[in-house]
Amino acid sequence: MSNIRDVAKVAGVSIATVSRALSAPETVSKKSLKKVHDAIEQVQYKPNMLARNFRRHRAFTIVVLVPNMANTFFATVVRGIEDVMQQHGFGVLLGDTRDQRKREEEYLKLVETRQADGVIQLRPYWEGDSILPKDDIIAVNAAGCEDTPYPCVRIDNAGAAKTATDYLLSLGHKRIGVITGLSENPHTIDRLKGYRQSLENAGIDSCEEWVAEGEFTMWSGLNAAQHFIRIPKEERPTAILSMNDEMAIGAIKGFRAAGIKVPQEMSIIGFDDIEVSRYAEPALTTIAQPAEEIGKAAANMLLRLIEGKELRQSDYILPYEFVVRSSSVPFSG
Amino acid sequence: MSNIRDVAKVAGVSIATVSRALSAPETVSKKSLKKVHDAIEQVQYKPNMLARNFRRHRAFTIVVLVPNMANTFFATVVRGIEDVMQQHGFGVLLGDTRDQRKREEEYLKLVETRQADGVIQLRPYWEGDSILPKDDIIAVNAAGCEDTPYPCVRIDNAGAAKTATDYLLSLGHKRIGVITGLSENPHTIDRLKGYRQSLENAGIDSCEEWVAEGEFTMWSGLNAAQHFIRIPKEERPTAILSMNDEMAIGAIKGFRAAGIKVPQEMSIIGFDDIEVSRYAEPALTTIAQPAEEIGKAAANMLLRLIEGKELRQSDYILPYEFVVRSSSVPFSG
DNA sequence: CTGAAAGCGCTAACAT
DNA sequence: ATGTTAGCGCTTTCAG
């Protein structure tokens, strides 16, 4: 393994010149530059980034905290993050936390011990259960919720849920159910707000029976369907807003298994617009979050922060789209 | 930011003792240990891993090369890798290559420049189009194919494809189609081998028309369905083996759109057993790859290699499972 | 534009 | 069991 000294020797220049030739070529004469490059070629020099980063007090690495990498939505956000980070010469360390606080802490240590320069958190901020914000830790939240006390890029969750519910109302549905995430989850709270607002505007009293708690997994969506199936048909919602696509897919499975036709007897709207949703049977009407864009925006924010720059805004809201497909149809009493 | 020197001063010991207290506590007296820990607490010392890794000539980081992180199967393998790595104090750098060779090379540089100690490649080895194996780069292939010229953990792809085809045969199907990945993709080759073997054993001449080329995406699966739909009904396969679940899901969508009933008129078998497959309509019969286990095994292999140990075997084959669900039914001519 | 030299924070001989 | 000390490979003043 050759080092900068070997290159200097072969090139007949000082190590300082070699160093400059690599990190600030414009400050070196063409002649020296050529000598250095030839020498690098000759001794097969590969700079030791471990040494370089150490010296520069920068890891050129960030860590991303993901509740579950196998979730397509999260994976897509991470792709966006990774794309801009790699363009800027930064590596992305994967922190699949599996919803465990201990793992979050473990990964955060990478930042405290300088192995990473900052962190992007994909779990929404949760008062009383959040390891961020933290002094001396540069962090950005991606795809989070309202009132996140550190820089954040997200969509208007309440607005999106309201849009979807409004749409169901416009189709003539009067009893509209909702499948939520865990009740304390901020996404649940924000989206429930929009859902309730919509019903209220329409003069409909929302009913406790219409709310089924899930946990953002297909399995829990299927479970939630059971809840609605148990309600007598005359009182049962005729349409449901699911707070993500996974649960919507699970719920469809549940309803079909019970002989309830989707969408004829039960309209369903999802949230996120993951890739499989358009291939679901029926194709899912859903709120499309710009997952990759969210990731990119979060990455750019974090880079600015790492470079010590100011942020133009610290609650960056991206537009969502409402995508109508086949899982939602007019009410047919 | 305090350093080891500050700790030593406060504790009244030498920096060597502090260093040892952290990395080899058993070689330090209880008394010194306590002094050190108290001092660490007092000055809020956090070791600078950048310095430590530099000094130890090790990044304690690996990089994983993934063709597409948004693919659930890959994401699950990565989870397995990450789990093992984090238990061993190693970070996992994400290298989403988006099927671009340039990106692969970019990420491989992280190993050459010592920012990572090794690499796990999730793209199958491809003669003439592979950046691995490479001298001085410690690498393991995960979920790859036969005859990979560097350490590899995988399933028996040919055997799995044969199992699935045999099953279709046993259900009475005589015309059995297959949706492949790109024709040069080693997975395509290995699995096609099993498929052909099965037909041959049954004395059936496999027909070129029965093979539709996809590229492992839902969209290409839907496309492949079009191919089969164009074949006159009397000659059309009555069952299809798809080389992954995504394409199977796309194909089902395609057949349904054309009014062909799945599974009544067309049985379909997938490959991988990603989570959504059991929620598909109909639930997918499929080859279940032990994705997370593959990741864990690959991670353990890589760790041994990084530590300079020998491998017990360099082509590690894990068992697959054949999962029968509702997308495959007996032939009903 | 170039070179000499002083470390960055830590580990690992080596000596005690 | 502990301390002294010499770097790891690189960047970055500071002179020239």
Report pLDDT digits (tens) over A166-222: 999 999 999 999 999 999 999 999 999 999 999 999 999 989 999 999 999 999 999
With respect to residue A14, please indicate whether it lies within any of the assigned structural domains: yes
Please give the full DSSP string across B31-46, using - where no structure is assigned. Answer: HHHHHHHHHHHHHT--
pLDDT of res. A188: 98
What dihedral angle (degrees, nearest 10) is formed by the CA atoms of A220, A222, A227, A230?
-160
DSSP code for A58? -
Number of folded domains that form chain B: 3
Nearest to B91 among A69, A93, A275 (CB): A93
Same domain, B20 and B82: no
Which residues in chain A have Cβ-Cβ distances shorter than 8 Å to B96?
A: 78-79, 82-83
Q: Give the rounded distance of the alpha carbon of B142 from its chain centre.
A: 5
Q: Provide the shortest C-alpha distance from residue A328 to chain B (in Å).
A: 17
Q: Which of B's residues 8-47 have CB atoms within 7 A of nucleic strand D?
A: 12-17, 20, 27-29, 31-32
Residue B159 tokens read as 């055997």
Chain-chain contact of B275 with A112 (C-beta, under 8 angstroms):
no
Same domain, B126 and B144: yes
pLDDT of res. B333: 74
Distance B27 CA to C2 C1' (A): 48
Q: Give the rounded distance of the alpha carbon of A127 from its chain centre.
A: 19
pLDDT of res. B1: 81
Residue A333 has pLDDT above 90, yes or no: no
pLDDT of res. B250: 98
Domain range for A43 is: 4-47
| Nearest-CA residue relative to C1' of C7 | A55
DSSP code for A269? E
Same domain, A283 and A301: no
Contacts of B261 (CB under 8 A, 6+ apart): B255
Same domain, B103 and B125: yes
Nucleic strand C within 7 A of Cβ A16: yes
With respect to residue A323, please indicate whether it lies within any of the assigned structural domains: no
CA distance B256 to B278: 18
Distance B51 CA to D4 C1' (A): 20
Inter-CA distances, B194 with A54, B141, B160, Å: 51, 21, 7
Chain-chain contact of A69 with B72 (C-beta, under 8 angstroms):
no
Same domain, B180 and B256: yes
CA distance A221 to A266: 14
CA distance B143 to B290: 9
Query: Which of B45, B62, B55, B54 is CA-nearest to residue B139?
Result: B62
CA distance B119 to B62: 6
SS3 A265: coil
Nearest to B96 among A79, A249, A280 (CB): A79
Chain-chain contact of B47 with A113 (C-beta, under 8 angstroms):
yes
With respect to residue B322, please indicate whether it lies within any of the assigned structural domains: no
Which residues in chain A have Cβ-Cβ distances shorter than 8 Å to B122?
A: none
Same domain, A72 and A95: yes
pLDDT of res. B206: 86
With respect to residue A129, please indicate whether it lies within any of the assigned structural domains: yes
Chain-chain contact of B54 with A57 (C-beta, under 8 angstroms):
no
Protein-proximal nucleotides of chain D (any atom < 7 Å from a CB):
1-5, 7-13
Q: What number of helices (H) and strands (E) belong to chain B?
A: 11, 12
Best of A115, A137, A249 to disrupt the B interface by mutation (most B CBs within 10 Å)? A115
C-beta neighbour count of A111 within 10 angstroms: 23
Distance A26 CA to D12 C1' (A): 16
> Of all residues in chain A, what percent carry a pLDDT higher than 70?
100
**8 Å CB contact between B77 and B295:** yes
Nucleic strand C within 7 A of Cβ B313: no
Which residues in chain A have Cβ-Cβ distances shorter than 8 Å to B47?
A: 113
Residue A328 has pLDDT above 90, yes or no: yes
With respect to residue A324, please indicate whether it lies within any of the assigned structural domains: no
What dihedral angle (degrees, nearest 10) is formed by the CA atoms of A167, A201, A153, A102?
-100
Same domain, B120 and B176: no
Protein-proximal nucleotides of chain C (any atom < 7 Å from a CB):
1-5, 7-13
Residue of B nearest to A91 (CA): B93
**8 Å CB contact between A39 and B244:** no
Chain-chain contact of A50 with B115 (C-beta, under 8 angstroms):
yes
Same domain, B167 and B242: yes
* Beta-strand pair A139-142/A118-121: parallel
Predicted confidence band of residue A1 (pLDDT cuts 50, 70, 90): confident
**CATH (domain of B136):** 3.40.50.2300
Same domain, A135 and A186: no
Inter-CA distances, B87 with A103, A169, B82, B247, B308, Å: 10, 50, 8, 35, 19
| Nearest-CA residue relative to C1' of D13 | A16
With respect to residue A206, please indicate whether it lies within any of the assigned structural domains: yes
Same domain, A68 and A21: no
Which residues in chain B have Cβ-Cβ distances shorter than 8 Å to A86?
A: 103, 106-107
H-helix segments, A171-319: 186-201, 218-230, 245-257, 291-306
Predicted confidence band of residue A292 (pLDDT cuts 50, 70, 90): very high
Residues facing A239 on adjacent strands: A176, A267
The mean pLDDT of A7-18, rounded to a whole number, is: 94
Same domain, B234 and B312: no
Same domain, B90 and B118: yes
C-beta neighbour count of B5 within 10 angstroms: 11
AA letter at A84: V
C-beta neighbour count of A34 within 10 angstroms: 13
Q: Which residues of chain B have a pLDDT value below 50?
A: none
**8 Å CB contact between A331 and A174:** yes
With respect to residue A329, please indicate whether it lies within any of the assigned structural domains: no
pTM over 0.75: yes
Who wins on pLDDT, A92 or B1? A92
Residue A290 has pLDDT above 90, yes or no: yes
With respect to residue B54, please indicate whether it lies within any of the assigned structural domains: no
Residue A295 has pLDDT above 90, yes or no: yes
Q: Give the rounded distance of the alpha carbon of B328 from its chain centre.
A: 26
Chain-chain contact of A92 with B93 (C-beta, under 8 angstroms):
yes
Residues facing A240 on adjacent strands: A177, A268
